[in-house]
Amino acid sequence: MNRCELTEAIRDAKRAKGLGWNEICRKINPKASPVLLTAALLGQMPLEKGEAKKAEQILGLPKGSAALLAEIPNRGSLPSVPPTDPTIYRFYELIQVYGTTWKELIHEEFGDGIMSAIDFEMKMERLPDPKGDRVKITMSGKFLPYKRY
């Protein structure tokens, strides 16, 4: 089984067991970020060995899946750029519209550098609103200055 096939097996098991991502993540490791664990289950991050074993058991995955879940993956899962999925496209659109603004404001506040996507945390919340619930995404990445020498 390759990683793409394992991702499909994970999606199939999730569906067959009637589980949500947050529920699966809590069972794997209640202390870990559900964003990170979901990304790992979808093939974008590695799980720790113990987490991978739990995922294999919880989802009833084929024996040996844990080893694949613990491997460092080839990241990047968009089948096309720009993305065609409407939800993913909205993030792409945010970068197109606000990317240069974020860059300017980061550089003004911190100097010449980047926000790390490695030393990084992200949280998603649902905010009830009478006009329609809102999605709140909080991202926090370590600032990494460019070195001159």
Which sequence spans correspond to the domains of the chain? 3-69, 86-145
Beta pairing partners, 139: 122
Topology (CATH level 3) of domain 3-69:
434 Repressor (Amino-terminal Domain) (1.10.260)
Is 77 one of the annotated active-site residues of the chain?
Answer: no
Q: Residue 149's pLDDT is what?
A: 84
Determine which one of 93, 104, 121, 134 is catalytic: 93
**Widest CA span of the chain, in angstroms?**
55
pLDDT digits (tens, 9 = 90+) for 82-103: 889 999 999 999 999 999 999 9
Residue 43 structure tokens = 């093939």
User: Is pLDDT of 52 > 90?
Assistant: yes
* CB half-sphere exposure, 110, CA atoms < 13 A: 17
Determine which one of 116, 121, 134, 140 is catalytic: 116
Assign domain 86-145 to its CATH architecture.
2-Layer Sandwich (3.30)
Determine which one of 11, 75, 90, 134 is catalytic: 90
Is 48 one of the annotated active-site residues of the chain?
Answer: no
Is 90 one of the annotated active-site residues of the chain?
Answer: yes
